[in-house]
Structure 1
Amino acid sequence: MADQHSTLRAQRRAETQRTIQAHAVRLFTERGYDATTMTDVAEAAGVSPMTVYRHFPTKEDLVLADHHGRLVAERILASPAAQPLVRRIGTALVDSATTLTGRGDGDDPSANKRFLLARLRLMISTPALRARHLDNHYALQQAIVDALGDEAGDPDAAFQAQAAAGACLAAMHTALVRWAEDDGRTELPDLIAKALAAAFGNDVVGTDLGA
């Protein structure tokens, strides 16, 4: 029973976070990031400013907070350790993008795609968010290295993992920018796969990713 209550609390918390963030991204897009306050977001979401701050300590978090790092790490942990680093990381990035763009409010994946596109445009166009986005990039890189696991005790292996993760994330960033410019007309996982294939070749990344 205690586990059930804990699960329900976690679900309610996640739903509140999604609601607040959705209203925040909408207001930032409609009014401008600098012109929108945390109080504006709270009013639009129907919660108190204290609730907004409890879930999102800073204004930047309203845009940048996501579960991408966890999704990528889960997929790396599930991948065969014998695979090349770039293959493990690249597959995880493509798979997590498939999950993120396919998950929407209710049964409407397009709603989530519009939300992700709006977030991405805000990250690209807002100076304050670009700076914090770089921090998120480093955090994701470290999450990837941590998920690879065995590399942590070997400085040379850790360096190789960091280099592979950084290179894969650079390719993904190129795909994200193109996805925003293309207004989401091309599927994001396909763009990430093509960017990885362009950087590393189909033989390294795998024909199933680069196709």
Structure 2
Amino acid sequence: MGLRERKKERTRAELQRHALRLFRDHGYAETTVDDIAAAAEVSRSTFFRYFGTKEDVVLFDDVDPVMERVMAAVPAGTPLLEAVRTVLRESFGSLDDEARALEEVRMELARTVPAIATILRERNAFGVEQVAAMVGPATGREPEDPEVLLFSAVVLGARQAARARMDAGRATSYVDELDAMLGRLEGGVPLAGEPVRGHSS
């Protein structure tokens, strides 16, 4: 990036940080674009230069580029599941405490605000095909390979399990819970070999 592009990215990230703090402290629905602009000490028109809507503030993912850099640095020959966990841990570990806490807020909003969840579904964000498009090249296989698709679906299943734990109040950090779920897979799919118990009459 040139200097101008880097400055724009910093401004966009700073606007998002102010917005996420307001969403966390006052609620998403209760926070307006004017509130965000005032907190960031910019005009309303400046906000709309960087984000088309309030939803776009949540949809902007500043961690993805970090994850791509971490993935590129994973040594060749690293087992795939270990590589996925490494990317997750190192990417979020590179954030300072507030940035990580705000990323947790962003992910929670992406899951719980209906308008944002709808946009993500329409974009097929975090779909099997999207994950397979990354897993395939990393393993030297085609994204349509059945094993690539199955692994991608299992990773998404771990995401859903982590979310279920969060929804049930059994976990406080989505990132840590997802890492724990992926760790459970290292020994194989849990319960896969467990015999089914019949119901007694």
- Give the alignment's TM-score, normalised by structure 1: 0.67
Aligned residue identity for 1:86: L
Query: 1:194 — aligned with what?
Result: 180
Give every structure 1 segment of 4 or more consecutive aligned residues whose post-TM-superposition deviation is greater than 6 Å.
none
Question: Which structure has the larger Rg?
Answer: 2
For the residues of structure 1 that align with 2:114 and 2:55, how far apart are their CA atoms?
A: 11
Secondary structure of the residue aligned to 1:60 is helix
Shift of 1:62: 0.6
Higher mean Cα deviation, 12-21 or 136-145?
A: 136-145
Displacement of 1:149: 7.3
Say whether the 8 Å CA contact 1:24–1:41 is kept in structure 2: yes
Contact 1:17 1:55 in 2 (8 A): yes
Q: CA, structure 1 residues 130+156, in 2 after alignment: closer, same or farther (shift >3 Å)?
A: closer
Between the aligned residues of both structures, percent identity stands at 27
2: CA distance, partners of 1:150 / 1:39: 49
* 8 A Cα contact 1:79 1:88, kept in partner: yes
Q: Which amino acid aligns with 1:85?
A: L
Q: Which residue of 64, 68, 80 maps to 1:69?
A: 64
Q: How far, CA to CA, are the matches of 1:140 and 1:156 in structure 2?
A: 11
Partner of 2:154: 167
Taking structure 1 as reference, are residues 127 and 91 closer, same or farther at Cα in structure 2, changes over 3 Å only? same
Cα shift readout 1:92-139 (whole Å, capped 9, x = no counterpart): 22332322xxx23xxxx2x22331232233233321122234443239
Change in CA separation of 1:129 and 1:78 when aligned onto 2, cut-off 3 Å: same
Q: Output the amino acid matched with 1:55.
A: Y
**Aligned pairs, number:** 184
More deviation in 56-65 or 116-125? 116-125
Partner Cα separation in structure 1 for residue 137 and residue 49 of structure 2: 28
RMSD of equivalent CA atoms: 3.3
Please list every run of 5 or more consecutive structure 2 residues that lacks an aligned counterpart in the other structure: 190-201
Q: 1:89 touches 1:144 (CA, 8 Å); kept in 2?
A: no
State whether residues 92 and 100 of structure 2, in contact with CA within 8 Å, keep that contact through their aligned partners in structure 1. no
The separation in 2 between residues aligned to 1:64 and 1:41, in whole angstroms, is 16
- Is 1:131–2:118 an aligned residue pair? yes
| Aligned-partner SS, 2:52 | coil
Give the helix-richer structure, 1 or 2. Answer: 1
Consecutive unaligned residues in structure 1, runs of 5 or more: 205-211
Q: Quick one: which amino acid aligns to residue 129 of structure 1? A: I
**Who is 1:207 aligned against?**
none
Of structures 1 and 2, the one with the larger relative CO (CA 8 A, separation 6+) is 1
User: What SS does the aligned partner of 1:137 have?
Assistant: coil
Task: Name which of 36, 40, 54 aligns with 1:45.
Answer: 40
CA distance in 2, matches of 1:116, 1:144: 22
Native 8 Å contact 2:133 2:143 kept in 1: no
Residue in 2 that maps onto 1:18: 13
Residue 83 of structure 2 aligns with which residue? 88
Q: Does the aligned pair in 1 maintain the 2:159–2:178 contact within 8 Å? A: yes
> By how many angstroms is 1:31 displaced?
3.8
> What is the deviation of 1:168?
1.8
Q: How far does residue 21 in structure 1 lie from its aligned partner after superposition?
A: 0.7
Shift of the 156–162 alpha-carbon distance from structure 1 to 2, 3 Å rule, reads: closer
Q: Secondary structure at the match of 2:29?
A: coil
Compute the displacement of 1:69 (Å): 2.8
Q: Given the alignment of the two structures, is residue 118 of structure 1 paired with residue 105 of structure 2, yes or no?
A: yes
- Contact preservation (8 Å) 1:141, 1:165: yes
